[in-house]
Amino acid sequence: MAAPVKKVPIHLQSSQNRLLIKNGKIVNATGMQDGDVFVEDGIIKQIGTNLIIPGGTRVIDARGRYLLPGGIDPHVHFSFEFMGQTSADDFYQGTKAAISGGTTMIIDFAIPKKKESLLEQYDKYRLMADDKVCCDYALHCGITWWSDKVKQEMEILCKERGVNSFKAFMAYKDDLMIRDDELYKMFETCRQLGAVAMVHAENGDIIVENSKKLLSKGVKGPEGHEQSRPEEVEAEATNRACVIAKQVNCPLYVVHVMSKEAGDVISKYREQGWPVYGEALAAGLGTDGRPCCSSNYGLAAAHIMSPPLRSDPATKERLMDLLASDGLQVTGSDNCTFSSKQKAVGQNDFSKIPNGVNGVEDRMSVVWEKGVQSGKITPPRFVEITSTNAAKIFNLYPSKGAIGLGSDADIVIWNPNKTRVISAKTHHQATDINIFEGMECHGVPEYVIVSGRVCVDDGELKVVQGHGRFNPTPLYPPTVYDSLATEAEKANYAPLPDLITETADQVSQLHVNGSNGDAAPISPSPITVFSDQTNTPTGKGARQEGQRNLQGSSFSISSEVGDTSKRSGIRVHNPPGGRSSGGFW
Ligand SMILES: NC(=O)NCCC(=O)O
Ligand SMILES: [Zn+2]
Ligand SMILES: [Zn+2]
């Protein structure tokens, strides 16, 4: 006989989709405030004190902790076919590792080989990622050759597939590299579309010649990697990319800034008022290139990436100083992991070592340790460089990158008083070596909430495959284009609404819709509140909730399954005026 079903009174049932985080210090890029945060259906619905909360809501006490917007890592490569290998972290393992470290959104790159279709590569990445991602994601596309077809496909990607950013490679000659005239045309096209041009800045011709010379002299080990591409080879290309972008009036995002000289170039253009953005990496901030000269090949090869980790140990301090002074704006990981076995293919020729390091899991800890713990930056600046700036540049703000009313409930409860030691023995990545091995970091993500779901729960990882969704990135990010766009172009995009983090009383006022000012009842439907009162549910800049495309949203649960709540489809962030989300993502 079946056991009798125990009935739980309705008021005692804990709702999976409601969460109250109490007593934390809420940190946004704009500042900090003490308060409680109420989350329902994956969205932040109330912020303040003395909130009116429905029964059955799960409560987490965050006293003594910071509440941070979930980290956004704008630079990862999962399952990337590169230098004859496929990077080891796939979209499941990579996003799982990301979440365990406090990152709740990643942006990967769909990079076609020369002559291949961008659209086909995009489709391939969507297929690889959609069912596997444990957190939300978006895609940049790579431009590795130029033709009318590439230009047309860029337009389709922007207008119909939710891609607003393209990366060009000035290195990896005969593989991904494009020439200056192609770069010029690509930047021009980005400018015409209102997209973000991104660049890997290194002089690929010089690298090839230097490598040949070093190999012929018998320098074959990993130490030859940096020798073939010294600082000025990165700085020259960074300057050249800025010059080319300027010719066509195009804003520019320089990925993986790895040297002092390249950082200085970006700062110089910014001082002139030019919209150039620079991304530092966890690797560049947390370690350096000295292990590349180790007699332990495995350790040396694990540190090989491009541009290289610099052997000057002062580089990491300088990069953090630049982040502190706004010479650089964003931190990513460029997570592109290869196992020791995969790295072994370059044993007799450094130019064949697959380039890439880990970082998606440890980026938040490394930046906190080197930035906040060292006293160089404040918690709000930490939030800005790990989350908010990426959200703004790729036009995801304020759904992402903020703890505000109507924002996605991507929240990290961060204990600054706990420490952890990074190790390959405990990390969640698909590699056997961690470049930050042994580093002690203050700041531990005790809870990581991904779109309302508690995926790190008091330190326990409970991710769900397929919980994440593809986030289209709309064109004309205001942060990037405001200083350049014409008035006619500005009509194409919605100005960013300001973040609102009012008290409960103020929130209630915003939702009573002309009633007597009593506290508003908790609404089961998403609350959409932005300070720009011209935003209506159908107007420019409105979040288009409920327009999630359900197709292709299969869902599976990992061994760490916590619940079976299902999220599916895509997210649409502040689509530009007139553009329908239309289900074509
Ligand atoms: N950076 C690196 O070494 N590997 C990933 C590919 C790239 O971003 O250039
Ligand atoms: Zn690159
Ligand atoms: Zn990369």
SS3 category, 289: coil
CA 337/CA 364 separation, integer angstroms: 18
Give the per-residue pLDDT at 569. 61
Q: Which residues contact 217 (CB under 8 A, 6 or more apart)?
A: none
Q: Helix axis angle, 260-271 relative to 314-324, nearest 10°?
A: 20
- Residue 545 tokens read as 């909730």
Q: How many CB atoms lie within 10 A of CB 377?
A: 22
Distance 343 CA to ligand 1 centre (A): 14
- Residue 532 tokens read as 């720009």
Residue 77 Cα: closest atom of ligand 1: 5
User: Which stretch of 55-69, 153-167, 475-489, 520-534 has the lowest confidence by average pLDDT?
Assistant: 520-534
Distance 322 CA to ligand 2 centre (A): 20
CA 382/CA 442 separation, integer angstroms: 14
Residue 75 Cα: closest atom of ligand 1: 8
Distance 97 CA to ligand 3 centre (A): 17
What's the mean pLDDT in 145-170?
A: 98
* Helices and strands (H and E) in the chain: how many: 18, 19
Residues 344-387 pLDDT 10s: 999 999 999 999 999 999 999 999 999 999 999 999 999 999 99
CA 75/CA 331 separation, integer angstroms: 9
Residues 424-467 pLDDT 10s: 999 999 999 999 999 999 999 999 999 999 999 999 999 999 99
Give the per-residue pLDDT at 490. 85
**124 or 543, higher pLDDT:** 124
- Nearest-CA residue for atom 1 of ligand 1: 306
**Does residue 432 contact residue 88 with C-beta atoms inside 8 Å?**
no
The closest ligand to the CA of 237 turns out to be: 2
In residues, how long is the chain? 585
Residue 169 Cα: closest atom of ligand 1: 9
CA 70/CA 453 separation, integer angstroms: 12
Question: Which helix or strand (DSSP H or E) is residue 198 part of?
Answer: strand 196-200
Assess whether pLDDT exceeds 90 at residue 550. Answer: no
What's the mean pLDDT in 263-272?
A: 97
- Residue 25 tokens read as 């210090």
pLDDT band at 489 (very low <50, low <70, confident <90, very high): confident
Full-model pTM: 0.88
What letter does residue 496 receive in the DSSP assignment? P
- State whether the beta carbon of 229 lies less than 6 angstroms from ligand 1: no
Give the per-residue pLDDT at 395. 97
Residue 176 Cα: closest atom of ligand 1: 9
Q: Which residues contact 271 (CB under 8 A, 6 or more apart)?
A: none
Distance 109 CA to ligand 3 centre (A): 8
Helix, strand, coil shares of the chain as percentages rounded to 5? 30, 20, 50
The residue type of 537 is P
- Nearest-CA residue for atom 5 of ligand 1: 356
Give the per-residue pLDDT at 571. 66
Residues 273-286 pLDDT 10s: 999 999 999 999 99
- State whether the beta carbon of 257 lies less than 6 angstroms from ligand 1: no
User: Which stretch of 86-90, 324-328, 492-496 has the lowest confidence by average pLDDT?
Assistant: 492-496
The closest ligand to the CA of 334 turns out to be: 3
- State whether the beta carbon of 355 lies less than 6 angstroms from ligand 1: yes
Give the per-residue pLDDT at 479. 95
Sign for the CA dihedral angle at 243, 249, 254, 259 comes to positive
Give the per-residue pLDDT at 535. 28
Distance 483 CA to ligand 3 centre (A): 28
pLDDT band at 499 (very low <50, low <70, confident <90, very high): confident
Assess whether pLDDT exceeds 70 at residue 560. Answer: no
Give the per-residue pLDDT at 10. 42
* Domains of the chain with CATH codes: 70-401+415-442 (3.20.20.140)
SS (H, E, C) 389-442: HHHHHCCCCCCCCCCCCCCECCEEEEEEEEEEECCCCCCCCCCCCCCCCCCEEE
Give the per-residue pLDDT at 85. 98
